[in-house]
Amino acid sequence: MNATGYAYGGQVPDWLAARAALAPHHPALVCGGERITFAELDRRANAVARRLAGRGIAPGGRVAVLLRNGTAMAELVHGAGRAGAVLVPLNTRLAPSEIAWQVADSRARLLIHDGATRGLVASMPAPVNAEVVDITIFNEGPEASASLREHIDLAAVHTIVYTSGTTGRPKGALLTYGNHWWSAVGSALNLGLHADDSWLAVLPLFHVGGLSILMRGAIYGMAVHIHEAFDPAAVNSAIDEGVTIVSAVATMLRRMLDQREGRPYPRTLRHVLLGGGPAPLPLLEECARLAVPVVQTYGLTETASQAATLAPADALRKLGSAGRPLLPTELRIERDGMPVRAGEPGEIVVRGPTVTPGYADRPEETAAALRDGWLHTGDLGYLDDEGYLYVLDRRGDLIISGGENVYPAEVEAVLLSHPAVADAGVAAQADERWGQVPVAYVVLSPGTPCTVEELLAYCRARLAGYKVPARCIVVPALPRNAAGKLMRQRLSELAAP
Amino acid sequence: MNATGYAYGGQVPDWLAARAALAPHHPALVCGGERITFAELDRRANAVARRLAGRGIAPGGRVAVLLRNGTAMAELVHGAGRAGAVLVPLNTRLAPSEIAWQVADSRARLLIHDGATRGLVASMPAPVNAEVVDITIFNEGPEASASLREHIDLAAVHTIVYTSGTTGRPKGALLTYGNHWWSAVGSALNLGLHADDSWLAVLPLFHVGGLSILMRGAIYGMAVHIHEAFDPAAVNSAIDEGVTIVSAVATMLRRMLDQREGRPYPRTLRHVLLGGGPAPLPLLEECARLAVPVVQTYGLTETASQAATLAPADALRKLGSAGRPLLPTELRIERDGMPVRAGEPGEIVVRGPTVTPGYADRPEETAAALRDGWLHTGDLGYLDDEGYLYVLDRRGDLIISGGENVYPAEVEAVLLSHPAVADAGVAAQADERWGQVPVAYVVLSPGTPCTVEELLAYCRARLAGYKVPARCIVVPALPRNAAGKLMRQRLSELAAP
């Protein structure tokens, strides 16, 4: 091990251009009835680069985008870098003040929005230090002849993606071309790569889960089907029409199965990549019964998406596990900076070529998170004796009750294993005696009668006393962010007064 | 572009160990009725490393191996690096004096042979400065507890492979772990990667074509079927039993089809990767008729195998082409150091992460071959206007006749396009008037009557006068080296006196 051991540098031909030369007529994007070939996407990416140059974006300049899923977003993802620009995709569900903060924090020179986000931009509290332009105007706007990049420097920054902010203030994670490249390669070495593959992007493209699909499309030479919003019937139709891989979160998959009413999926569906936390047992069992090829995964913005993935064969044998690290990635569990033994919980730390070089303009947070190449995720988990990862919790959600640690995800996993529970979240509630106590918020499965008392008895039979929820509240739905991640800090808003 | 742009460094977990942890019971090697799992291969690789340490091989030490295809060779390929050793695989068809020369040239400390190569080693002209040991003795020999590598440094040298020497004196090309890794990745991005893939290694494992299959097996987590020697019936049986990819040269494929007598191959056969020069038209047409998925390729020792590959869909449309460069590779045609236009012949130069860092202990040859990251292959070719590579010739085989350049491969391609020609080679013959003239050596297809006069008339109708062979000699077979490459410098030995 040495200091240069983590410099995953090098230069490769522009992968979109390479795919356009190799298979110009192959579909690159399918979206809302439109089918865009690799040759056309390549041309549009060049046009984006010239338009950015036309608006004075110099190499290294940052461009914020606030766009719904669609081809315009994909064109910017592939085109910005050709002008040397760094893309800053913003969450379209942010509040106006949060958008203004992230635009300022990222030092973006340009903010591109669309019709759906125009109102958000107009409501920003103060004028931002960036040119604001509608995508339609941008696409009709001036072009400048820029010297477009022909090669991709793997060490160059492609994107700044703000972490979801379920804990603390958002930080902009730098993602290099190399991060995206190695993520695509690691995923292909795990999931395989077929000549007729196509990947459905129904997750937001401004999060790494959706963004990584666009990168893989160009690197693999694979069609990406973009859905503007999640519609279970539309996703099921796309699968029937031959989409081979779908990225989803558990709540989406639940709604897809409900809409389908037991009709099996075609064999062309190779993988449903399931992120966003542990999946409920009834859902996994139903998938096994219907031969839905679920692949559970653990990923972060800071690792350009998947860091560990559970193989379909292990889906039930390793229930609740996120699998083993992808080949180029190392993953271990640390406590006080030292690796712990199998079965012992600790902080999940990750090293390898998909790991971000750091947070934009945040040397202190970068130094805190990255030590000797290891990314300290702040997530808690353990490895079983076969090296399979179980994610226990986000560190910020840890409940400390009477000096004992309570990991909400562990309590949630027990609740989710009950056949009557469709969804569950656990959060801390202040308590005079214990400091904090866990409180459970559950969504019940329709048609499976169950009382709160039964659920608590179920927990008492399976958990140490201090982990059993002090209260259990039945709610119609849980708060999840755009990436499908449970926002535990908002659970208490659901509590009855 | 900058000096560090070609430093494809970085560190990854040991890929064989990763595969052994992920799928311990998956077959890694199938050879002669033996089936070795990834867990077992991982254990054997560690044993190899301890035995090398037991014989005093220190990190950086070079170990020459003179072994037939088999599991012992594969164990050394995966195990040597764990002790920090660099493997020097030697061609088992070399003469004893050539072996002695390469052992000395490589500065190997150890030479491991087997029963089949014992006689060769015993006949070496002078004592070599290396310990000589039979593989059986080695495998029963002393082990030392070495601190085995857990990570793979992609910049470290894995192998020294002597180039085939069809021109000039052999040189040992350094191949790093990164060269092999990127080659495996580039091939997967081109050929795809299926969960049930298995790759048949019937090419010699001491050449890069066979060696690269072993590397891919461990990187992909894929079974490699090793055949000790080429037997067309055995290859056909392996395909019937489910092997999905086969690497072969045209003469092998010809014999496979002959043995099969028209019976189609199963759909499980995904690719027949065809190297070693242009394939005869009748062979390609027969493959198309039988739906044999032929993939023509251009590769070099110095690029860790494939540099360009023709997609199956283009096999007949781009007859004789080796396709486009694999994604991480750049390829262009140069004359006098400058790129030439489409259609113009020149030297094939290649750049990218699969390119060797140079020749062992040969700074001058390295500097001559590698300039600004570009490997000057010495091969002649051109790109058509769609960027498809046509290999014209090895530079050393160029025939100059009356001041005009004659590329033997061009004449051979014409001869091979005649339905009566099974194989063809063209070489120079001294001529008082023109300096040199081309002479053709052809192998006729059985059952297709044809005269030499007809073949020459066929050439005259398709080639400029100075390219038409002065003589055409019918021979029973052409001289090819162990990798199947035509040895044109030996063609004249076939001429009738």
CB contact B188 to A (< 8 Å): yes
Interface-testing mutation among B4, B187, B189, with chain A (most A C-beta atoms within 10 A): B189
Q: How many CB pairs below 8 A link A and B?
A: 94
Tell me which residue range forms the domain holding A203: 13-390
Residue A86: which CATH number?
3.40.50.12780
**pLDDT tens digits along A232-285:** 999 999 999 999 999 998 888 999 999 999 999 999 999 999 986 667 778 888
pLDDT per residue over B267-281, tens digit each?
999 999 998 666 777
Burial B166-189 (b: 16+ CB within 10 A, else e): beeebbbbbbbbbbbbbbbbbbbb
Q: Does A268 reach chain B within 8 Å, measured CB to CB?
A: no
A39 vs B: CB within 8 A: no
Query: Do residue B369 and residue B425 come from a single domain?
Result: no
Instruction: Give Cβ neighbours of residue A3 (< 8 Å, ≥ 6 apart).
Output: none
In angstroms, rounded to a whole number, what is the distance separating the alpha carbons of residues B11 and A157?
A: 20
Q: Which two tokens stand for residue B216?
A: 């891919």
Are the C-beta atoms of B307 and B340 separated by less than 8 Å? no
Q: Give the predicted TM-score (pTM) of the model.
A: 0.85
Q: Give the integer Cα–Cα distance in Å for B12 and B22.
A: 15
- Is residue A277 one of the residues assigned to a domain? yes
Q: How crowded is the C-beta side of B79, counted as CA atoms within 13 Å?
A: 26
Whether B371 and B456 map to the same domain: the answer is: no
Look up the CATH number of the domain holding residue B483: 3.30.300.30
Task: Indicate the residue among A363, A390, A417 that finishes a domain.
Answer: A390
Q: What pLDDT is stored for residue B167 in this prediction?
A: 44
pLDDT in tens, B179-217: 999 999 999 999 999 999 999 999 999 999 999 999 999
DSSP B155: T
Whether residues A189 and B189 touch (CB distance < 8 A) is answered with no
| Token couple for B338 | 């400058």
B46 and B133 part of one domain: yes
Interface contact flag, A328 B13, Cβ < 8 Å: yes
Best residue of A150, A189, A385 to probe chain B, by most B CBs closer than 10 Å: A189
**pLDDT class of A97 with cuts at 50, 70, 90:** confident
Instruction: Tell me whether A275 touches chain B (CB under 8 Å).
Output: no
Same domain? A165 vs A57: yes
Q: Which of B213, B207, B244 is nearest to B226 (CA)?
A: B213
If asked whether residues B145 and B263 sit together in one domain, one would say yes
Whether the CB of B277 is below 8 Å from some CB of chain A: the reply is no
Residue with the bigger pLDDT between A10 and A371: it is A371
Clarify whether residues A161 and A250 are in a common domain: yes
The verdict on A24 touching B (C-beta cutoff 8 Å) is no
Neighbours of A213 (CB within 10 A): 27
Whether the pLDDT of residue A319 is over 80: the answer is: no
Task: Indicate the angle between helix axes B177-191 and B208-220, nearest 10 degrees.
Answer: 80
Cβ–Cβ of A387/B13 closer than 8 Å? no
* Cβ neighbour number for residue A178 with a 10 Å cutoff: 26
Instruction: Evaluate whether residue A158 is within a structural domain.
Output: yes
The pLDDT, as a whole number, for residue B3 is: 33
Among B10, B195, B352, the residue with its CB nearest the CB of A8 is B10
- B4 located within any domain: no
pLDDT score, position A279? 72
CB contact under 8 A, B193 and A195: no
Per the structure, the count of domains in chain B is 2
Same domain for B383 and B440:
no
B324 touching A (Cβ < 8 Å)? yes
Going by pLDDT thresholds of 50, 70 and 90, the confidence category of residue A288 is confident
User: What is the identity of the amino acid at B4?
Assistant: T
Burial environment of residue A227 by CB neighbours within 10 A (0 to 12, 13 to 18, 19 or more): buried
B408 in any annotated domain: yes
- Which residue numbers in chain B have pLDDT < 50? 1-5, 165-168
- Residue B391: what pLDDT? 86
**Domain membership flag for residue B59:** yes
Structural contact between residues A353 and A328, judged by C-beta atoms closer than 8 angstroms: yes
Last residue of a domain, which of B340, B372, B390? B390
Q: Which of residues 196-225 of B touch A (CB under 8 A)?
A: 219-221
Three-class secondary structure of residue B364 per DSSP: helix
Cα distance between residue B176 and residue B174, in whole Å: 6
ipTM above 0.85, yes or no: no
Q: How far is B106 from chain A (nearest CA, A)?
A: 27
Whether residues B381 and B415 share a domain: the answer is no
Please check whether residues A444 and A360 belong to one and the same domain. Answer: no
In a domain, A121, yes or no: yes
**Is there a single domain that holds both residue A207 and residue A287?**
yes
Chain B within 8 Å of A313 (Cβ-Cβ)?
no
Does some domain include residue B471?
yes
Single out the residue in B390, B410, B437 at which a domain terminates.
B390
Write out pLDDT tens, residues B358-397: 999 999 989 989 998 899 998 889 999 999 999 886 666 7
pLDDT value for B379: 87
Residue A3 lies in a domain: no
Residue B380 shares a structural domain with residue B414: no
Q: Measure in Å the smallest separation between the Cα of A152 and chain B Cα atoms.
A: 10
Residue closest to B474 by CA, chosen among B462, B461, B487, B454: B454
Chain B contact set for A386 (CB, 8 A): 21
- Clarify whether residues A419 and A337 are in a common domain: no
pLDDT in tens, A395-438: 667 787 776 667 788 789 889 989 999 999 999 888 877 778 99
